[in-house]
Amino acid sequence: MTQLTHFDEKGQTQMVDVSPKLETERIAVAKGRVYAQNLTIQRIADRDFSKGDALEVARLAGIMSTKRTSDLIPLCHAIPITGVTIHLSTNLAESCVEIEANVKSVGRTGVEMEALTAVSVAALTVYDMCKSVDRSMQISDIRLVRKTGGKSGDFRAE
């Protein structure tokens, strides 16, 4: 059975000691979607909201959240982020906003949680920006799709 790294032999919560690990380049890519009414997606695409450009505000929120992940997830390490890109696009055919976060670091632990946080916060921001016209929006499909670097090696979702 695989031992959970965030618990010691007595079952007590611990923060993993990453000091013995080598510093390597770490990259994580996460994706997610915000489903909404077609009219809402069209308004997002047209940048037609009184609060501003929903996609650009969500992009900024996603970027900012990567730097705060360790404040939000109790056992995450505060790590130096060397790069973040957030791609948001409207998909009228599937009536959603598609979100992808790419996060990079050179360090001793991965950036999967930072990428997932970026997508989550960007999705929440889309909801916040558009809730005045569509409270039925659904945040969905948030997942890690790829990661590279570190002892555990590379991962690519199927």
CATH number of the domain that 55 lies in? 3.30.70.640
Residue 8 is assigned to a structural domain of this protein? no
| Percentage of the chain modeled with pLDDT above 90 | 73
Residue 155 is assigned to a structural domain of this protein? no
How many of the other CB atoms lie within 10 Å of CB of 126? 28
Please confirm, yes or no, whether 48 is among the known catalytic residues.
no
**Number of domains within the chain:** 1
pLDDT tens per residue, range 6-32 = 676 777 777 776 777 788 899 999 999
Strands 138-148 and 96-107: unpaired
Residue 90 is assigned to a structural domain of this protein? yes
Residue of 128, 134, 141, 154 marked active site: 128
Residue 13 is assigned to a structural domain of this protein? no
DSSP reduced 3-state for 55: helix
Domain that holds residue 79: 24-150
Edge to edge, the sheet with strand 138-148 lists: 81-91, 96-107, 24-35, 138-148, 155-156
User: Which carries the bigger pLDDT value, residue 62 or residue 10?
Assistant: 62
